[in-house]
Structure 1
Amino acid sequence: MKHHVRSDKKTFMGIKANATVSLASIFIISILVTATLIKGQSMEDWFKLTQVNVSNSVGWFFILLVNFVFIYTIYLGISKFGKIKIGGVNAKADFSKGSWFAMLFSAGMGIGLLFWSVGEPISHFNNNPFISNTENPAKAAELAVSLSLMHWGFHAWSLYAFVGLALAFFTFNLKLPLTIRSIFHPIFGNKIYGLLGDIIDVIAVIATLFGLASSLGFGVQQINSGLTYLFEIPSTTTIQIVLITIITGFATLSLILGLDKGIRFLSEVSLKLAFVLLVIVIAIGPTVFLLKAFVQNIGFYLFNFFEMGFWTNSYEGVGEKNSWQNQWTIFYWAWWVSWSPFVGIFIARISKGRTIREFVFGVIIVPTLLTFFWFSIFGGSALYQELLGNHIVSEAVNKDFSTAIYYLLEQYPLTKLTSVLTIILVTLFFVTSSDSGSFVVDMLTSGGKHDAPKSQKVFWASMEGLIAGVLLMGGGLAAIQTATVLSGLPFALLIIVMCYSLYKAVNDYYKKYYIFKNEDKKEAIEV
C-alpha cells in the first residue's frame, strides 16, 4: 500500500524543521510561561480555580474516553488484525524484548512510580470517598492500593499502546512520517501536510511538553527532598531550579548520544537499579505480608475493575464538588492523555518488527504487572506501618508529599543505602524521561525525522526544563496539575478521531495484503 508522501520540512533556525509547528509551539509556550512568571501568586490561584472548573465540566469525558480506549485497544490485539506485523512480514525487531520492556517502563512511568508509590496509597488510606480508615482499617488499606493500581494500571498503558500502535502502523506499514498528523491520513488524505496537520502536531507538542514538565516537576521535588533528608540541603524552589538545570544538561547529553547509546543504555541501568531497590525493600520489610498483599491487591483490583473505572461520583456528589476525583482520577487521566503522544511516538519508534498482538499485550500487560508489584511493595510497606499504628509516613505525606518514600525507608534497616539509591533512581528516570521527551518533540517539529540535528535536541530539552521550572515557581503542584489537564483536553478530542482512522487503515491494509489460507480457521497470512 503506497501513499503520496510529501515532505513538510522547512528550514527553521538553520535546521530542517517544520517552521509552522516549531514557531506556533514556541509562541504558545512563551505566552503561558511569561504569564506565569508575571502574575506570580495570582496565577497560582487561577491555576487552582481553572483545574476545578475544567475537571467538574469534562471529568466524565476523560473517564469515558480512557475506558473506551482500553476496550478498543484490547479488541485490536485479539482480533484478526493481531497477526499483522509492524513494518511488514519480513520486518525485524531493532531491540531485544528485554531492552524493549526496559525502555517502555522508563519512558512510561519512571519518575512517577518513585514519587507516588508511597504517598498515593497512604493518601487514599487517610482520605477516599468510599470508606473511612477508622471504620475498617484493613478494607481501607486494600482499597487504597487498588485505587492506586487503577490510576497506574491498564487504563494508562492502553492509552500509550493505542497511540503507539497507531503511529507505528502508519509509519512502518504505510510509510508515512512519524508524527501525530499521519494517523489522520485515511480521513484527510494529503491535507495532513498542510495547516490542518500543523495544528494537530502543535497540539501534540504542547501536550507532550506540559505532560513531561509535570513529571519532571514531581521528580525534582523528590530529588530535593532526598538531599534535604540526607544532607540537610534546603528544599526550596531555587534549589529545584538549579537541579532542573543540571539534570536537563545530562539529559541533553544522553539525547545527543542517540537512542542506542544514550536512552537505551540509561533505561536498562534504571530498570536494573529499580529491581535492586525493590528486592532490598522486600528483603528488609515484612516480606510475607507484602507478597500476600500483592496477590490480594490484584484480585481486588480485577474484581472491581469496571466499577472503579466507570465511577464518576454522580450520585454521591450531588450538590458537592468532586474534589477527590478531580485531584486524583481526572488529573491522572488527563496526565496519561497528555503523555500519550510522547510515550506513543517513543514506543512506536522502538517497536518495529512486533505483531499488533505482541505490541498490544506487551505494552499493556508487562509494564502494568511491574507497576502493580512496585505499588504493592512500596505502598504495602507504608500501609503496614499504618496498620501497626506508626503514622510517621502519613505525617510526611501531609507535610511534604515528595518526602514520603524517604520516611518509609527510615522505618527499615539500610536507610542511607536505600535513600541514596532512590535519589540516583529518580535522577536517572528524570534523565530518561527528559531525553525521551525531547527525542519525540524533535520528531514532531522536524516532520517525523528520526534523528534531528543536535542543535534542535538541545533547544527542546532546554525548553522542557524551562517549563518545569516556571510551573514550580508560578504555582507549584497546582500549576503542574492544571497545565496537565488543560494540555490533555484538546489531545483527548483528537484521540476519538484517531480511533476511527486507525481502524479504517488497519482494515484496508488487512483486506489488501492478507488472504485467507484456510477458510474454516480464517487463518490470515501476508502476501
Structure 2
Amino acid sequence: MNLLPLNNTPTRLEKTALVLCLSLSVIAFLFPQLLTTSLQPIISELLGYLGSPFFILVNLLLFAVLAIAISPLGQRKIGGAQAKVEFGLFGWLSMLFAAGMGSGLIFWGVAEPALHTVSSPLKQSLYPNTQTSGLALTLVNWGAHAWALYAVFGLVLGGLTSNSGKAGDISAPVMSAVKGLINRGWQLKLRFSIKLIAILAIFFGVVGTIANSTLLLRKGLELKLGVESVLLSGFIIISLIVILYTVSATLGLKKGVQTLSKFNVLLAFMLIVWLLIFVPIQPIIDIALGGTWDYIQLITTGTWQFESVLKKPEWANGWTYNYYFWWLAWGPFVGVFLAKISQGRPVWQYIVGVVFVPTLVTIIWFSVFSGSAIAWDQTHNAGILAAIKADYTQGLFVFFEQLGWQGGLLIWSSLLLLLIFVATSADSAVLVIRELSGANEAQTWSLYAWSFALGLCAFVLLVQNNEPLNRSVAIIGALPFLVIFIFQLVGFTKEFINEFR
C-alpha cells in the first residue's frame, strides 16, 4: 500500500506549512528567550483552563471505545466492507506501537514512576503505597486513555461510514459536521485551514519528542564516551536520527517503517527479558499488581475528578494535562497512520490491538524498569532515586551501571532502541505530513525538506536544554487542533446517526 497520493496536487499548502515551521524555528533560534519567558507561561495558563475539561472528554472517549468494541459496530471493517488486510498481525502491532509512543517509554521507563514514588503528587490518604501509586499515576499518563485517544482518531479517519470520504481524509468528518452551513468557497478554505493546523500540530509534537529523546541520548554519550559538548553531541545525535527516518520514509511503509518497527519491538522484548535475568522478579510482580490495582481505582474514580486526588491541583498542568495535549498533537498523524495500516481489520480487533495490547505492554514495561530500579536502590542503597530526583535523564544509566558488565550492554541497547523508536515515529509523521500537504511521491525534495525542518527545530530546542520547554513546544499545535477534533467527533457521530436512520 502507498501512503502518499500519486496525483499531482497543488503545493500551496505544503509551501505555507514549511515556511511557517521554518520561520518559527528561526525566530526561536534568534530569540530563545521568547520560548521560556513568553511561550511557556502562555501554554501553562491555557492548560489551566482547558486541561481538566479535555481530560474528562478523554475519559468519556475511553469508555465509548470500549462500548463500540462490544457493540454491533465492532463487526464493521476499517475502510469499509471491501477493504483487505495488508499487514500481518506482528507487523501491524509493531508499527502502531512504534509510531505511537515507543520513544517515550525509554525516556521515562525508570524515571517517571521513580519521581512519583520519591515525591508522590497523590494524596496519601487515598493511595498510601507510594511505589504502586507512582506506577498507577504513570499509567494514567501513558496507558489506556492515551491509546484510546489514538484509537478514536483512527476510527474517525478510518472510512467506517459511507460519507466519511477516503480513509485518512482528516477534513472529511468536519465537512460532515458543517454540511449545509457554509458554501463551497468556505469549505475549500476550511479544508486548507484544517490540514495546515494538523500539519503544525504533528510537526511540533514530533519536534518536542525528538528534542526530549536527544536529551537522554546526549546524557548517554556524556556518561559512556565523555562527550560533554551540548552542541557537538546534540548535532551528532539529531543528524543520525534525521538520516535514519529520512531513509526509512524514502523506503516507504513496508520496506522502511515496518522493518524498523519490527526490529525495535524485538529488541525491546529482548531488553526486558535480559533485565529480568539479572534482577529479582518478586519486587517487579508486587509493584505490577499493586500499581495495576491502583491504576484501575484511578481510572474508575479518580480521573473523573482528577484534581481532587492531588495534593496540589496545579501539578496536573505540567504533567497529565500536558501529556494529553501531546497525545492530541500526535493524534492527526497517528490517526491517519492507523487508518492506513488497519484497513480491512474488524473494529473490535482494531480496538483490542490499539488500546488493550499497548496498555498491557506499557504496564509490563514500567513495572519491569521502574520496579527493578526501585527494588535495587532499596536493597543496595545505590542512590538511584536520589540521582533521578536531581536529574531524571540519568536515572536509566545510574541503574544499569549497578549491574556490572551487562549494564553497559543494556545502556547501549537502550540508546539504540531509543534512537530507532524516535526514527519510527518521525518517519511515519513525515509520510503523513506529506500526504496532508498534497505532496507527490516523486517530489523527493519535499521529503528532504520536511526531514531537515524537523531536525533543525529539534536542534534549536536542544540548545535550550529544557525538558519542560520541550513538552510545551510539543503541544503548540494541539491547542488550536482541539477545536477541529471536537468538530470531527460531531461529524463522525452525525454520519452514523444518518446511516442508522
Distance 1:137 1:187, change over 3 A: closer
Distance 1:299 1:342, change over 3 A: same
Tell me whether 180-189 or 436-445 shows the greater mean CA deviation.
180-189
Match of 2:375 among 367, 381, 384: 384
Deviations 1:207-265 (A, max 9, x none): 10111111111111111111122111225144213311232012101111111000000
Alignment of 1:425-504 (within 5 A): 425-446=417-438, 451=441, 453-474=443-464, 476-504=466-494
* Residue in 1 that maps onto 2:384: 393
CA shift, 1:303, in A, is 2.5
Letter of the 1:377 counterpart: V
* Residue in 1 that maps onto 2:94: 102
**Gaps spanning 5+ residues in structure 1: where?**
1-8, 512-527
Q: Does 2:374 match 1:371?
A: no
Between the aligned partners of 1:277 and 1:46, the Cα distance in structure 2 is: 41
Match of 2:36 among 33, 37, 44: 44
Q: Does 2:255 match 1:265?
A: no
Between the aligned partners of 2:248 and 2:475, the Cα distance in structure 1 is: 29
Letter of the 2:391 counterpart: D
Q: Does 2:137 match 1:143?
A: no
* Residue in 2 that maps onto 1:212: 206
* Residue in 1 that maps onto 2:119: 127
Number of paired residues?
492
Between the aligned partners of 1:138 and 1:275, the Cα distance in structure 2 is: 32
Between the aligned partners of 1:191 and 1:160, the Cα distance in structure 2 is: 31
Between the aligned partners of 2:231 and 2:120, the Cα distance in structure 1 is: 30
Q: Name the SS for the 1:354 alignment partner.
A: coil
Match of 1:352 among 303, 326, 343: 343
Q: Provide the aligned C-alpha RMSD in A.
A: 2.7
Between the aligned partners of 2:456 and 2:35, the Cα distance in structure 1 is: 17
Distance 1:97 1:334, change over 3 A: same
CA shift, 1:410, in A, is 1.7
* Residue in 1 that maps onto 2:156: 166
Question: If the length of structure 1 is used for normalisation, what is the TM-score?
Answer: 0.87
Distance 1:323 1:386, change over 3 A: farther
Letter of the 1:500 counterpart: V
Q: Does 2:407 match 1:407?
A: no
Deviations 1:27-64 (A, max 9, x none): 33234223211222353222332233222222222212
* Residue in 2 that maps onto 1:254: 248
Question: If the length of structure 2 is used for normalisation, what is the TM-score?
Answer: 0.91
Q: Are the equivalent residues in 2 in contact too, given 1:157–1:368 (CA < 8 A)?
A: yes
Alignment of 1:175-186 (within 5 A): 175-176=165-166, 178-186=168-176
Letter of the 1:328 counterpart: W
Alignment of 1:223-234 (within 5 A): 223-234=217-228
Distance 1:452 1:350, change over 3 A: farther
Q: Name the SS for the 1:92 alignment partner.
A: coil
Between the aligned partners of 1:271 and 1:78, the Cα distance in structure 2 is: 29
Q: Name the SS for the 2:81 alignment partner.
A: coil
Alignment of 1:279-298 (within 5 A): 279-298=273-292
Q: Are the equivalent residues in 1 in contact too, given 2:135–2:366 (CA < 8 A)?
A: yes
Q: Are the equivalent residues in 2 in contact too, given 1:179–1:443 (CA < 8 A)?
A: no
Deviations 1:101-146 (A, max 9, x none): 11111111111000011110111112232246xx999701111000
Between the aligned partners of 1:55 and 1:296, the Cα distance in structure 2 is: 30
Between the aligned partners of 1:429 and 1:470, the Cα distance in structure 2 is: 21
Q: Does 2:412 match 1:420?
A: yes
Between the aligned residues of both structures, percent identity stands at 28
Q: Are the equivalent residues in 2 in contact too, given 1:125–1:143 (CA < 8 A)?
A: yes
Letter of the 1:119 counterpart: A
* Residue in 2 that maps onto 1:66: 58
Distance 1:87 1:224, change over 3 A: same
Distance 1:175 1:144, change over 3 A: same
Between the aligned partners of 1:437 and 1:202, the Cα distance in structure 2 is: 14
**Gaps spanning 5+ residues in structure 2: where?**
none
